[in-house]
Amino acid sequence: MNPGVFVAFRLPPELEGLRAAPYALHLGEGALPNMPDAARRNVRAIVTNGIRGVERALIEYFPRLELIASLGIGLDALDLACARERGVRVTNTPGVIADDVADLAMAMIVDRLRGVRDANAFVLRGDWAKGPYPLARSVTGRRLGIVGLGAIGTALAMRAAAFRMRVAWHGPRPKADISLPYVADLESLARDSDVLAICCAGGPATRHLVNARVLDALGPQGVLVNVARGSIVDTAALIEALRGGSLGSAALDVVEGQPHVPEDLLGLDRVLLTPHLGTATRETRARMGDMVLASLAEHFAGRDPAHRVV
């Protein structure tokens, strides 16, 4: 019998190759499945993504589970402790998403400072005939604070350099091989930045890392950009800061509780919202899908998957 593979989220185009692979494929939509006992016992791998993740209950539902292959690099939604307890391998798809996510972050920075989206709406409303569009702010020479200087943060710093932006960064600790200025206190970094871009990992350690104090330090001309995880920003504090004018504007590719966006955020015109588009290009998703398929093939061939994290 072919090994069973359970897909814990809606099968995306980049994983259509699973249908032709030598597996007994079971498609899920996020909830704990209700499968016949024989099928449940045959499942040896779960395919998921960094948002859906895998919780303890799902891991324990499959008694012969051997592998969790995640489409994405985020690990915060995966119960790694449970995987370790049960001897389940975990893989992700590193090394292919940084450029696309950094491109989006840079596009958001340009939009929030130059007002591209709002200027388009100005023209479409017919307001150009009534007078000029208000002056915006230069991107060149602005101060950019990056929260998390991993692959994505580093790629963003490279793009910012082309705009002659002055870049500093914050993380848990300095890195010996990084020449960019390191700021140990996040509030201090926000205070000395025109734009604060969040590029760090999600999870309990960074939940609401960007809180009311950080937003207040960023200030009424400041721009917050989040291309990481919605949980990193205190959403209630963000809404209050934007409403009260203590923060200039925000660009969010991720929000807490996504895909459900708080009505209070939808009603604010100083927020640019996108539906988690960081990795959403044909090229990158195809590479990610190939890596998931390779992890499954390597595991079932008796080899240690190349992109194993547990």
Question: What would the pLDDT profile of 257-280 be if each residue is shown by its tens digit?
Answer: 999 999 999 989 999 999 999 999
- pTM of the full structure: 0.94
- Listed as ranges, residues in the chain with pLDDT below 70 are none
pLDDT value for 32:
85
pLDDT value for 112:
98
**CATH code reported for the domain at 4-96+283-300:** 3.40.50.720
How far is the C-alpha of 170 from the C-alpha of 187, rounded, in Å?
10
- The overall average pLDDT reported for the chain is 96
pLDDT value for 109:
98
The domain ranges of the chain are 4-96+283-300, 98-273
pLDDT value for 1:
83
pLDDT value for 185:
98
**CATH code reported for the domain at 98-273:** 3.40.50.720
Cβ–Cβ < 8 Å for 235, 262: yes
> Are 4-96+283-300 and 98-273 in the same CATH fold?
yes
pLDDT value for 29:
77
